[in-house]
Structure 1
């Protein structure tokens, strides 16, 4: 076991955690818009957002699924992100092959974290794009008002893979 590898592992843990938190924040912001009453005031939207901050990321994704149908396997990717996020947050060292005793185990942990960070970046981009689309087109609460071309632009974002 080498100290530089352990430092790289812990550094990746911190970066990944920040990226996951950002993805969760953007997703919760997006779900605030989806399904809200079109006549809701800013105060009402803020109250709705406050309620969502108390929900887990899995609960928020479930709410989102009730309003949006994901295409081309993105939902599976979101599920993978959620499972890996939960493994990282709750039981990282139980992931097969990951540990802190050998360089191979540490390297596997670093690889896992880099992949999870990339998935968090992708989720952030997708939901940021949806937020922008809602604001730009003033469809903030009605997904039926989104035209196919603009929605396809957002779907295209879902397939951008960050370089590792």
Structure 2
């Protein structure tokens, strides 16, 4: 019974502290996590795009997957607004450009060519927007080989 008093006091303290900790009042930062754009850059002209992937199909076989992280730099506010309105069409055109590059231009066991991939994606973006002014910026290009059984 000697421990009953301190135990009750600790339980009451814990019960009072739990709502404060849950509401973020425990001295930690109550800011929301940064958006993807804020993590990459603080530039208002940058329009992040989702991660794109496409299969590398050569000789009627899946040779791997090409994964690209990228965004668009659009200094003109009116063009940036048009790009935001046409975001689904831009994503479709960029996926198609990546699929074309990974199946036609890319050769297995070589490094991806960022210049050629950027060129093809730039053409797709300019076609969707109807004008030049949005610049394709690649962040990552990753080629992933498929998992093969060890007996092959």
Asked if Structure 1 and Structure 2 have the same fold, meaning a TM-score greater than 0.5 normalized by the shorter chain, the answer is: no
TM-score when scaled to structure 1?
0.28
TM-score when scaled to structure 2?
0.30
Judging by fraction of residues, say which structure has more strand.
2
- Report 1 or 2 for greater relative contact order, CA contacts < 8 Å, sequence distance ≥ 6: 1
Larger Rg: 2
